[in-house]
Chain A
Amino acid sequence: MQAPTYELTDTRLANGLRVVINEDHVVPVVAVNLWYDVGSRHEEEGLTGLAHLFEHLMFEGSQNVAKSEHLKLLQAVGASLNATTWCDRTNYFEMLPSHHLELALWLEADRMGALTFSQETLDNQRAVVQNERRQSYDNQPYGGWMEQLQQLAFPPGHPYQHSTIGSMDDLEAASLDDVKEFYRRHYAPNNAVLTLVGDVDTAEALALVERYFGAIPSCPDLVGAPDGTASPIIGEEIRRTIPDNVPLPAVFMGYRCPPFGTPEFDALTVLATVLGGGRGSRLYRELVLEKALVRPSEEFVGAFDFVGGASLLIADLHCAEGVEPETAEAAYDAVVEAALRDGITDDELARARALLTSDVLGHLASLDTRADAFSQHATLFGDPALVNQRVERLLAPTAEDLVAVGRAVMRGDNRVVLTYVPDEAAATEADGDAEAEEQ
């Protein structure tokens, strides 16, 4: 199936702001998406969680926008909006009726150019973030798995070794000066990509972007990304058993792997689908349909999209009632070993390719996710048009490529295994909403 090619304009203002525009007039809506090239990997020691805490402060007022007004004004015109922080980026986005484009640009420019800082706001948002940490990590069944995998799968001091949410202590310690310096060194036009997708006229939109963002000075001493070079494999198997107040045992595995953007990563994405994507995957067949060892998942295996030196391939198994985690893990190992020993069939490859193609097409059909993909590829790889090659790249790896990358990555001396087991005595209790959104 032929994937559509999205036409786009890719340009820069004099201050370095990269602007990507893709017209789409099907509905009178525009997606505004802004990536700042800063994430938790840029954080210094003792300041973990600062990138994410900062993201919250971006909603708390700027030179011409009062506290809470950003959200209020956008919501009032029907926008859906949010922001997220991840290891490699912080993104801010809104989708709104296209005749309100100018409002969104004005608001984004104002907080890029002149954010307001106050101790009161910092303290309030620190409390909100600490509650977020309680809700999503500390008080959530299995909530700490990702943080632990990152910590164990990367060497000490590696940029991906700490979580985006950060530690309670570091959050507590963040000062107003820390926050101001972070803003100065990262939140500048020459460290950002602004993407507009939807019902806009490119020339008019560019003129508006120039009007609102053109006067914001660039930062002469941006902080670049830290060196994420790491040896390709961990070098040992690291195991931890975690007694916790969880209803059923679960096993989380992390393998160090090549970064997003490499052909190896693409091959790994296809392999992950063969092994654990959809309901026709090997793991689904063996562990769910035939043996009923684990709770069903349509994504047993998947890779984080880290770009800085190395990434992380994840597998997770939630045991069915009465199944020991060792049993589930052994069955998983047998499936992976068989695939990497005996190879992948044409039928399996065709299924994975069809599913991944549909995923990409569906993802790019929506204005907001398409805009985010352009910002992502511009920020991380320097070229938004690479989005148009996503399908092609996922169709490229052969069955042999899959096996080769699988053998290099999914090996015993390259993984962290976390086993959660129910602990009746554990006092900590589980908690609700696992949503990833930051607002």
Chain B
Amino acid sequence: MLRLRWVQALIVLAVWIVTATALKGVQTQELSTATDSPFTAVMRDLAASIRGNRTESFLFVYVFNPIRTAISGFIELFMGVIAVPADGNLIPLLGWFGTLALIGFVVYATSTLRMALFSMMMMLLCGMLGMWLLTMETLAMTIGAVFLSLVIALPLGVWAGLNDRVMKVLRPWLDLAQVLPTLVYLAPLALVFLIGIASATIATMIYAIPICIRITALAIKGLKQGPIEAAESAGSTRWQVLTKVQLPMAKSTIILAVNQTTLAALSFVVIAALIGAPGLGKPVIEALTIRNVGDGVVAGLAVVLLAVMLDRATSAAVNRDQSGYAAADAAKVRRRIGLAIFGVLTLVAIYLSRYLLVFAVFPEQLNFGEYVADAANAVSDWITDNLGFLTVTGSEQFTIWILNPLQGVLADSPWWLTLIAITLLAFILAGRTVGILVFVLLALVMATGLWNDTMLTLAMTLIATGFVVIIGIVLGVWAGRSARVDRILRPFLDAGQTMPAFVYLVPVLALFGPTRFAAIVLGVVYAAPVVIRIVADGIRKVPKESIEAAVSAGSTTMQVITKVQLPVSRRSILLGVNQGLIFVLAVVVIGGFVGAGGLGYLVIVGQSKPELAGKGLAAGIAIVLLGIILDRIAQGRPQKSPQGHH
């Protein structure tokens, strides 16, 4: 059955390629950037009318503008405490020393002394990179955004966990939010809420809330029924059961939701700088404009340090709760004394930070950021000078022999040919429902008028995903089989997932020039860690008995991998392909910044030029459609039977 499908797919591909080559350049729907299609013209007028209405329309004056003011004000409260001096002042409410101590105390109170010291050290390093105030701005924004997200998401998540119908209603929106590349909803938000803290916070919330809802709902749903039934039969009301039994039981998973929400919010910080978010994102974007690798690396490092600190601290809070910490009385007393002492020291630090300059403004003598930047620039220059020839030639050859031909089949051929071919492939690979869905979505893409640009972006996405899948499977299998490899890879995977893509965009640009290949490389670097992790996880879950059976039956390592581990972890691999696709799409869009063209470029240029705003918005819609198409096809056929493999 499997073989027949692949044969069918290959036939479709072959016919497609032959016809595309024969009909090259015919009806490609190519549209120059400055020209509008009917749909984009409608969007452009919509954007212009929104701009015109911002001060007058009822909706704006009574709904959007107040929301903007409220959110800005709320975040600025946090900023005023640790990051931004009020008008005329030199420092915010707490100087750096006081803030450092306060962070330490909060972490100590929620986990352990060791974690507190670790967190303080991470923050100190941020300061030593010369990034103290910017880090504090980002931290303040993250805290504020997380708080607002939790206020909305936790109740919704609990409700969805208790009530299946609510979950059913929410689910398609949660799915959509996960597929949506972040760059896409920036422009509409900026249009309605103007660039600045408010838009950035709302964008972060849109990104983080679905994650929180999902985890919380899962937590509530997964609770053991025993205690709940006991409480109910003892006569507790629904509310009492919720607050006295269910919520406490789900507490550690809810803290996990806080952890994931915080990381999601933080990972958004650089992109949010595109719509005026303050903090570490700004120097990263600026470094991109002036092509200064060093400055970008310094800011990027600060982001990573902050991310690691928040991740470890919030995870430690989860662990402490989960371990049920029924410590001995002596330990409890020790801890209470420790907290009290630390608390007093914190108060002293806060006092000092308000009255002594050296404790208020991060001292210049401790600032080593310049050296780090210079070192990064030196490394980047060396690589460009010595390996540049290789990388540029390599990228050019690859573009000539692989990327351009693929783009030729997808984009330089008649649109109806490509549409039919993709639909047929969807039918074959993923079944009838998906096939119909794909057809409808492709027709919608056609309706936006941006068919050609979509195909350009699709070509880059497919190639990048191909690379990512290969790398992901090879390294994932290796890391899954060998704990040592896993340990070595882990810090790189961590860095790859927390470091904003914009930071390594600059060296990638320097190496490969402003080309589509650079966008592909960016996509691979961004998506590979995720896929490696998922595949490694899947490999590790393969039951040891199956492996031992194969080994004792005389299989070689290769046979064990291909005949046992890969097939059994098939679902993980499929998930990896799916996630790889989504991540790649998100980043290939960023490649629009640097010469990759396609939909990403339209989104970006739409933000800068009012006459192209329609194309930008339409491009965002096209990206979403493309994301859904790829996501559905990559999920494969819907599982008919829910049973496991063995």
A-B complex is real: no
